[in-house]
Amino acid sequence: MNKPESISGGSTTRKSILYNGKTLAQNRADMYNTSKETGHYDGLKELKLKKSDPITFEKIFSKLRAGVVNARETAKKIAASPIVEQEGELCFTLYNTAGDCVCTSTGIIIHVGTMGMCIKYMIENNWEEDPTVNPGDMFTNNDCQIGNVHPCDIATIVPIFHEGKLVAWVGGVTHVIDTGAAGPGSMSNGQVQRFGDGVQITCRKTGINDKPMRDWQHEVQRNVRTPKYWILDERTRIAGDHMIRDIVEEVIADVGVETFLQFTSEIIEDGRRGLVKRINDILIPGKYNTVAFVDVPYMHEDVHVPSPFAKVDTIMHAPCTITVKPEATWRLDFEGCSRWGWHTYNANPTAFTSGIWVMMTQTVVPTERINDGSLFASEFRLPKGTWTNPNDRRTAHADAWHFLVSSWSSLWRAVSRGYFSRGYLEEVNAGNSNPCNWMQGGGFNQEEEIHAVNSFETAACGTGACAMKDGLNHAAAIWNPEGDMGDCEIWELAEPLLYMGRAIKSNTGGYGKYRGGMGFETLRMVHNSADWCMFFMGNGYMNSDWGLHGGYPSATGYRFEAHNTGLHKRIAEGKSLPMGHDWNPDEPDYENHLEPGAIVKRDSQCITTEAIFENGDLYLNYLRGGPGFGDPLDRTIENIEKDLNDVVLLEEYAIKIYGAKFTKDAEGYYTVDADATRARQAEMRKERLSRGTPVKEWMKGERQNILDKKASVQVQQMFASSFELSQPFLDKFRAFWSLPSDWLVTEKELGVPAFGAKHHMDLSQMPDVKTVVLVEE
């Protein structure tokens, strides 16, 4: 169990809407506190229903689970947004009366927790009394201050009643294409505060008698750029919620309300036990220490932000110690994280803890039985003031994923160490890529309508290498287990951007005995748009996806954009065009197919804000690869040869990394000479020995660099930010490098603005607000 304080029940003057006669808050407090005291959800030391009538128990689960999955599959056909309809960026979840998840559909299951937090917030802030909770009501939420991941995930929550009493809640969420933020696109990054992050809805009652309210619809549709998509997304959510409500009513008619309510607690305790069993089955007790970093290069001229104090280069720091305990529960401690920032990559505890299950269901708990029971078998420590748990209500969150996925990739790498040691090699994943680039923009589209785009091609990046096979090419995203790059033809309908090529991106997967999965690249030409802007969003100066056990990290990103290309003229004249691969960015070829005077940007600046793109301009959407596993010199000759023939490995790097000696025939087929390659690899081992330095020797030099404060400002700022928030991290740092007890680096001495470091104001300081805390802070 977590260690937040016990919660108290609150009061209401209305007649109870629960069968047990309690207020919603008292009901939740009793369940929560009993769970905390006993270590079993709702105090259920025994699963009486499951034990006495297992068939009924399983039947209820199967019907509900099938119901939420079916609702998702059916409802998504209502949506017009390719993000929902093509990529499946939606999810439906059933909750018990306390707002704890009973079962969830497939899809973006991070929202198991986010919608649950929305319900808990309504419970704790007495929505029961005002604005009241009645049959046929709908509540809408996208507020990141109470748990949403980013504002573009819009949740519609419907209470489910039986005989006038609340028996459950159902929530549906879709990732909308635009939220009316300062910049177009669902995950834009020009804004630096909540106030530019788009429309913000706080558990608002938006429907009665099963119909959305007119004032709500009139207001919200004009607050976003893409009202058509917005309306259909809302209908998707409502339809799915109501389908699930029907299923619940059928189950109650079948087994009775008492059994149903009993089930909605027992299944959560069952989920808790399921995680404990799985940890015991697959991991090794002990401590797993890991870390991730992400670059935030805001000093660049192509990053335009409204506030001067945001114009700084910073680095996200996410250290984590996972402790697997003897009783097979675990604790994830993020002590030492850097401070939240003036950008849109901040997270919050619910996004963090709930999101982890998106990743964990792909590895530790690959089961349909995921529910809030897992949370009750886990402890999270997310220090207040860090990017994982901001202590200021102004923070922006539009692209919270940018930081979240990087920190989770490191967690996947960490638990994979346990899998490897235990012999479950098939489960090892060096850690997936940070799925990016996020190609976004907006203006007038080909239908002459105000429009915004956010390409979800990034849902199909390379996966990390396994301990017994290569990672999958252009296959998945850590945030959606059902990743799909989508069809070119559909994207061309949704975006005024023609495909000039779509190809596997060579050399993007990290090298290793088993290499990471390759990413891919699409070259898009702006076409039939007006007043059009686009921007880039991803990693470029750093890579958050390390390799495992000697494998290399995947390649970092880079940016290619071209303006004043003359492509329309070249097309008319039948001249060559830039198409397909950007094979090796160090030997660029696209430029050979542009007219003189073209303006090209090729660099590591992978975060930009809105830039004007005219028709005929080019944008390279490069989707990243996954990291590698094991020493590259252990890679089989056959696999090296295959990589060359599959064109996923550039010749130059086959030689540099694998020592490959090969020939290429007239038809371009490669043959690797095994003996010559092994001989070269033997030389490469000797070269390693001659260039290597004993670590303890090297540490003396690095220690001196620290004493001399020899590092870039952004690196020092990252440490200064973590030191200020974490004495334990500072102590460990000083101890490791044997530094004087008073050694320190501070943001003040670096001369960079540190707004928010000393002065901040949390949501909990707002009047009449009761925040819900489920983690250690």
DSSP at 108: -
**Which residue stretch of 41-49, 222-230, 287-295, 561-569 sits at the interface with other proteins (rule: CB under 8 A)?**
287-295
Give yes or no for residue 334 binding other proteins (CB under 8 A).
no
Q: How far is the CB of 403 from other proteins (least distance, A)?
A: 15
Q: How far is the CB of 541 from other proteins (least distance, A)?
A: 4
**Which residue stretch of 123-131, 137-145, 561-569, 625-633 sits at the interface with other proteins (rule: CB under 8 A)?**
625-633
**Which residue stretch of 440-448, 527-535, 733-741, 746-754 sits at the interface with other proteins (rule: CB under 8 A)?**
733-741
For 375, phi and psi rounded to 5 degrees?
A: -65, -35
Choose which of 107, 462, 616, 632 interacts with other proteins (CB under 8 A).
632
* All residues at 6 or more sequence positions from 205 whose CB lies less than 8 Å from its CB, including other chains: 127, 131, 132, 137, 138, 139, 213
The angle at the Cα of 607, spanning 605 to 613, to the nearest 5 degrees, equals: 90
Give yes or no for residue 541 binding other proteins (CB under 8 A).
yes
The residues that bridge with 159 in the sheet, in sequence order, are: 169
Give the SS3 label for residue 569. Answer: helix
E strand or H helix that includes residue 75 = helix 54-75
Choose which of 55, 572, 666, 689 interacts with other proteins (CB under 8 A).
689
Q: Report the residue number, 669 or 698, with the smaller CB distance to other proteins.
A: 698
Give yes or no for residue 191 binding other proteins (CB under 8 A).
no
Q: Report the residue number, 34 or 746, with the smaller CB distance to other proteins.
A: 746
**Which residue stretch of 111-119, 155-163, 231-239, 414-422 sits at the interface with other proteins (rule: CB under 8 A)?**
414-422
Give yes or no for residue 607 binding other proteins (CB under 8 A).
no
Q: Report the residue number, 574 or 694, with the smaller CB distance to other proteins.
A: 694
Give yes or no for residue 683 binding other proteins (CB under 8 A).
no
Q: Report the residue number, 570 or 602, with the smaller CB distance to other proteins.
A: 602
Q: Report the residue number, 8 or 421, with the smaller CB distance to other proteins.
A: 421
CA–CA separation, 322 and 183 (whole Å): 37
* All residues at 6 or more sequence positions from 206 whose CB lies less than 8 Å from its CB, including other chains: 138, 139, 140, 156, 212, 213, 216
DSSP 515-580: PPPP-EEEEEEE-S-EEEEEE--S-SS------BTTPPPPPPP-EEEEES--HHHHHHHT-----S
Give yes or no for residue 315 binding other proteins (CB under 8 A).
yes
**Which residue stretch of 121-129, 225-233, 435-443, 708-716 sits at the interface with other proteins (rule: CB under 8 A)?**
708-716
**Helix residue ranges, H only, 295-448:** 349-360, 373-376, 401-422
Q: How far is the CB of 469 from other proteins (least distance, A)?
A: 6
Q: How far is the CB of 703 from other proteins (least distance, A)?
A: 9
Give yes or no for residue 300 binding other proteins (CB under 8 A).
no
Give yes or no for residue 329 binding other proteins (CB under 8 A).
no
72 and 288 in contact (C-beta within 8 Å)? no
CA–CA separation, 420 and 429 (whole Å): 10
Q: How far is the CB of 514 from other proteins (least distance, A)?
A: 7
Give yes or no for residue 737 binding other proteins (CB under 8 A).
yes
CA–CA separation, 353 and 303 (whole Å): 31
Residues 242 to 281: which contact other proteins by CB under 8 A? 280-281
CA–CA separation, 518 and 525 (whole Å): 23
Give yes or no for residue 418 binding other proteins (CB under 8 A).
yes
For 211, phi and psi rounded to 5 degrees?
A: -125, 140
Choose which of 53, 631, 673, 762 interacts with other proteins (CB under 8 A).
631
DSSP at 473: S
DSSP at 91: E
Q: Report the residue number, 596 or 740, with the smaller CB distance to other proteins.
A: 740
Give yes or no for residue 705 binding other proteins (CB under 8 A).
yes
Give yes or no for residue 17 binding other proteins (CB under 8 A).
no
Q: Report the residue number, 666 or 695, with the smaller CB distance to other proteins.
A: 695
**Which residue stretch of 302-310, 417-425, 447-455, 589-597 sits at the interface with other proteins (rule: CB under 8 A)?**
417-425
Give the SS3 label for residue 249. Answer: helix
Give yes or no for residue 164 binding other proteins (CB under 8 A).
no
For other proteins (CB under 8 A), the number of binding residues is 92
Q: Report the residue number, 11 or 712, with the smaller CB distance to other proteins.
A: 712
What does R_g of the chain's alpha carbons equal in angstroms?
A: 27
CA–CA separation, 761 and 777 (whole Å): 16
**What six digits make up the tokens of 648?**
């996923």
Give yes or no for residue 604 binding other proteins (CB under 8 A).
yes
CA–CA separation, 467 and 487 (whole Å): 31
CA–CA separation, 438 and 300 (whole Å): 18
CA–CA separation, 359 and 331 (whole Å): 16
E strand or H helix that includes residue 453 = strand 450-454
Choose which of 23, 463, 507, 529 interacts with other proteins (CB under 8 A).
507
Most distant CA atoms of the chain, gap in Å: 86
Choose which of 78, 144, 305, 324 interacts with other proteins (CB under 8 A).
324
Choose which of 214, 218, 686, 759 interacts with other proteins (CB under 8 A).
686
Reply yes or no: is the peptide bond before residue 131 cis, omega within 30 of 0: yes
Residue span 544-583 as binding mask against other proteins, x where in contact by CB under 8 A, dash where not: --xx-xxxxx-xxxx-------------------------
Give yes or no for residue 700 binding other proteins (CB under 8 A).
no
Reply yes or no: is the peptide bond before residue 437 cis, omega within 30 of 0: yes
166 and 24 in contact (C-beta within 8 Å)? yes
Q: How far is the CB of 448 from other proteins (least distance, A)?
A: 37
Q: Report the residue number, 202 or 604, with the smaller CB distance to other proteins.
A: 604
Q: How far is the CB of 73 from other proteins (least distance, A)?
A: 21
Q: Report the residue number, 117 or 648, with the smaller CB distance to other proteins.
A: 648
Choose which of 732, 754, 763, 769 interacts with other proteins (CB under 8 A).
732
Q: How far is CA 191 from the centre of its chain?
A: 19
